[in-house]
Structure 1
Amino acid sequence: MLHLALTGNIASGKSTVATMLAGHGATIVDADQLARDAVAAGTPGLAAVVARFGDGVLQPDGTLDRAALRQIVFRDTTAREALNGIVHPIVGRLRDEAVAHARTRGDQVVISDIPLLFEVGLERAFDGVILVDAPAAQRLDRIVRTRGLPAAEAQAMIDAQWPSDRKRQGANWVIENDGDLMALEAQVAALWSTLLTLPKPRPLPQRAPAADTTP
């Protein structure tokens, strides 16, 4: 089984690429969905988040108020690290379970969609890394338009992640999402054709040296 990571900064179009790859036959393990499962109502994960950040991050129905939590963590590095320390281990366990199920089924290409792949140092845990990228100004505009957020808040979300240039150094393949949907589909189709020619699980194209991890 070929197990790849798919990553990309916020508003890069990573989720769209994941959907396209699924259409070609890839099994997608979605970290965003796993993160939601990790802090679903009644879970130990949600209890840990509330214990750290207080009842102000809860909706009246007892579910997580993601907007309230986002306001805290995207402006406070310590708070963001604390949240990651709670959620990431749970997500990792859920991902391992999903990948194990895929392996048991005999799935040939499994792609783990992980937004913070490089930030949490997971890039070398996979057979290869696919990065979806778009210019920062274009991503900022997408966040403002599609999420209805103020530009300052959108920029804070962008600044909370590694810059794209740093991630490119550790990626095996880069999908450039700076054009229209047709151009994106063509790149994904070409990538899929390449993936089908790769031996499973190795070898893969040689990675560039790891990026400098100095903040």
Structure 2
Amino acid sequence: MLKVGLTGGIGCGKSTAVTLFRGLGVPIVDADQIAREVVQPGEPALLQVAKVFGAAVLTAEGELNRGWLREFIFKEPKARTQLEAILHPIIHKRIGQAMQVAFESGAAYVLVDVPLLVEQGYQTLFDRIVVVDCLPHQQLERVRARDQTADSQTQQIMQIQASRDLRLQAASDLLDNTSTQAVLEFQVNQLHKKFLGLSSS
């Protein structure tokens, strides 16, 4: 049962790598999707969030008021810590459950797509950590081409994310995405073979 976490900074090509692994038949657990699910109406986590932050954190329909919460966290930095203390244990548990389901279906290994793996201390969940890496100027160029986003916005996101050095230190396996998609695809295929070997040994 090999558990693989995959991460990368904005614009590094994480989504492309995930798509390539999925194409090889690897089951993918999407941590962002789980994070959205745990704050759906009726979920215990949403009730806890409302208890801590008050009624303003909910819309009239009883859904999470993301805009309000984003602004509040921006103004009150300790609120982020409070929010993470509520959500992360639940997200951790759900990721574990989703990996278990993948193994029960006979998968050799499972890949978990975690954008903020290093920032949120998720390293202990995994046997291997894959980091998709490229150069900082490439991050800016790729996000600009993809989203038509101003560089200043992208740089703000890059500052919130773990530094490139921190991500690289956490990596047990690296996907170097400084070249072409064909080169990335070759590396994904090599890693896939490696993980199949590790899971069977």
**Shared fold by TM > 0.5?**
yes
TM-score if structure 2 supplies the norm length? 0.83
Distance verdict in 2 for CA 1:79–1:145, change over 3 Å: farther
Tell me if the contact between 1:74 and 1:160 (Cα under 8 Å) persists in the aligned partners.
no
Structure 1 residues without counterparts, runs of 5 or longer: 202-215
Tell me if the contact between 1:31 and 1:113 (Cα under 8 Å) persists in the aligned partners.
yes
Whichever structure has more helix as a proportion of its residues is: 2
In structure 1, C-alpha distance between the alignment counterparts of 2:157 and 2:71, rounded to whole Å: 10
Tell me if the contact between 2:50 and 2:57 (Cα under 8 Å) persists in the aligned partners.
yes
Distance verdict in 2 for CA 1:187–1:96, change over 3 Å: same
- Counterpart in 2 of 1:172? 172
Tell me if the contact between 1:2 and 1:200 (Cα under 8 Å) persists in the aligned partners.
no
**1:136 and 2:136 equivalent?**
yes
- Counterpart in 1 of 2:36? 36
How many residues align structurally? 201
RMSD after superposition: 2.7
Stretch deviating more after TM superposition (30-39 or 91-100): 91-100
SS, match of residue 169 in structure 1: helix
Stretch deviating more after TM superposition (34-43 or 182-191): 182-191
- Counterpart in 2 of 1:82? 82
Tell me if the contact between 1:72 and 1:79 (Cα under 8 Å) persists in the aligned partners.
yes
- Counterpart in 1 of 2:160? 160
Tell me if the contact between 2:108 and 2:199 (Cα under 8 Å) persists in the aligned partners.
no
Distance verdict in 2 for CA 1:15–1:56, change over 3 Å: farther
- % of aligned pairs identical? 36
Structure 2 residues without counterparts, runs of 5 or longer: none
Structure-to-structure mapping, 1:63-142, within 5 angstroms: 63-73=63-73, 77-142=77-142
SS, match of residue 115 in structure 2: coil
In structure 2, C-alpha distance between the alignment counterparts of 1:77 and 1:141, rounded to whole Å: 30
Paired amino acid for 1:194? K
Tell me if the contact between 1:140 and 1:158 (Cα under 8 Å) persists in the aligned partners.
no
TM-score if structure 1 supplies the norm length? 0.78
In structure 2, C-alpha distance between the alignment counterparts of 1:103 and 1:18, rounded to whole Å: 18
Tell me if the contact between 2:6 and 2:129 (Cα under 8 Å) persists in the aligned partners.
yes
